[in-house]
Amino acid sequence: MPLNYHHLRYFWAVAHDGNLTRTAERLNISQSALSVQIKQLEQRLGHPLFDRRGRQLHLTEAGRIALDHADAIFSTGQELVAILQDTDRSRLAVRVGALATLSRNFQIGFLRPILARPDVEVMLRSGSPAELLDGLATLNFDLVLMNREPPGDGAAPFVTHRLAQQAVSLVGSPGRLDPRRPLGDLLRDQPIILPTAGSSVRTAFDALVNRLEIRPRIVAEVDDMAMMRLMAREDIGLALVAPVVVQDELASGRLVEADEHPRIHEVFYAVTLRRRFPNRLVQDLLKLSTDEAGRR
């Protein structure tokens, strides 16, 4: 028996909404009728597509595969209509998740090649590592940006792409930071603003001061790069950050950078899900980022 694409479209709508009631209201059909359509599709495919937990619907592994194919089918259908009608209304979309603490400047730099394209819509959401990886596994994101590698998990076939590596610097106001002073003296004498414990940068910093036998005066521990940037601008102390975080302040002279670097690096990653039909915008972004890194 051939697949009923009417059933598939209802499943596709519910899978993206994640809520049967909301989808039924949007499609102007009864919830019971919508449930019947999905049940018939599950019977045809021979697998449950949703794991029902209270009022929320979560895709099963079979559901993720079905949604992957449904995305490709209906996207192709939309492109077909646009091509045959000779319109420019067909728009491509990419759903990006970013670690809430990740540098905004880095995010903009990575996405810039597609931000100005009139045929592209970028949906950008921030969250915790667990929220982002869960969203990626359930196909709510096409791509996730992080500054740490995700833990290995055989149940979710994540692919980690190393995008860039930046040396971390000690920055501060010109009145507080003399760039020519040795790094050790600055760490002994000035209040320091650091990333929170557990980050790769903080772990490397703790190892550095241990080797130098320095006990720095930590004035703040911050997991938000925007807040660290603001504290440095407000002259709260010297901040340990990647230059991309404060690039505008360094260019204007509002902040200066120590000449001696702590030899600590922050690495930026893109995480994707191994998919049969990957989003072509994601492929374009990853290629452009790789080409840019190769030119550096």
Closest among 177, 176, 179, 141 to 158, alpha carbons compared = 141
**What pLDDT, on the 0 to 100 scale, is given for residue 255?**
95
Full DSSP string of 238-289 = EEEE-GGGGHHHHHHTSSEE-SS----EEEEEEEEE--SS--HHHHHHHHHH
In a domain, 85, yes or no: no
Give phi and psi for 171, each to the nearest 5: -125, 155
Q: In this structure, are 256 and 279 located in the same domain?
A: no
Residue 99: C-alpha distances to residues 17, 257, 262 (Å): 23, 25, 24
**CATH code, domain carrying 236:** 3.40.190.10
41 residue type, one letter: L
| Cβ contact 232:193 at 8 Å | yes
Same domain (yes/no): 190, 239? yes
pLDDT surpasses 70 at 63:
yes
**Tens digits of residue pLDDT in 161-210:** 999 888 899 999 999 999 999 999 999 999 999 988 878 888 899 999 99
Same domain, 156 and 282: yes
- Report if residue 84 sits inside a domain: no
pLDDT value of position 139: 78
Continuous H helices in 28-93: 31-45, 61-84
pTM of the model: 0.60
Where a domain ends, among 73, 99, 127?
Answer: 73
Q: 51 and 115: one domain? A: no
Would you say residue 82 lies in a domain? no
Rounded distance between C-alpha atoms, residue 89 and residue 83, angstroms: 10
Q: What is the CATH number of the domain that holds 29?
A: 1.10.10.10
* Pairwise pLDDT comparison (121 vs 290), residue with the higher score: 121
Same domain? For 238 and 291 the reply is: no
Nearest to 112 by CA among 263, 243, 289, 262: 289
202, 204, 266, 269, 270 from 101: Cα distances, Å:
14, 18, 13, 14, 15
169 and 243 in contact (C-beta within 8 Å)?
yes
Q: Which pLDDT score, from 0 to 100, does residue 97 have? A: 93
Asked if 191 and 259 sit in the same domain, the reply is yes
Roughly what angle, to the nearest 10 degrees, separates helices 61-84 and 31-45? 100
Q: Kindly state the percentage of the chain with pLDDT values over 90.
A: 32
Query: How much is the pLDDT for 53?
Result: 76
Quote the number of domains for the chain: 3
Residue 65 inside a domain? The answer is: yes
**In this predicted structure, what is the pLDDT of residue 295?**
55
- Residue 102 confidence (pLDDT): 83
Phi, psi of 104 (to 5 degrees): -65, -35
* 154 vs 164, higher pLDDT: 164
* Domain annotation covers residue 108: yes
What is the pLDDT confidence band of residue 232, given thresholds at 50, 70 and 90? very high
Same domain, 25 and 40: yes
**49 domain-assigned:** yes
Residue 78 lies in a domain: no
The parent domain of residue 240 ranges over 169-263
Same domain, 149 and 290: yes
Residues 48 and 175 in one domain: no
Q: Tell me the mean pLDDT in the region 258-263.
A: 90
Structural element, H or E, at residue 229: helix 225-233
- The reply to whether 156 and 291 lie within a common domain is yes
Q: In this structure, are 153 and 128 located in the same domain?
A: yes
Indicate the residue among 73, 101, 122 that finishes a domain: 73
Do residues 17 and 145 share a domain? no
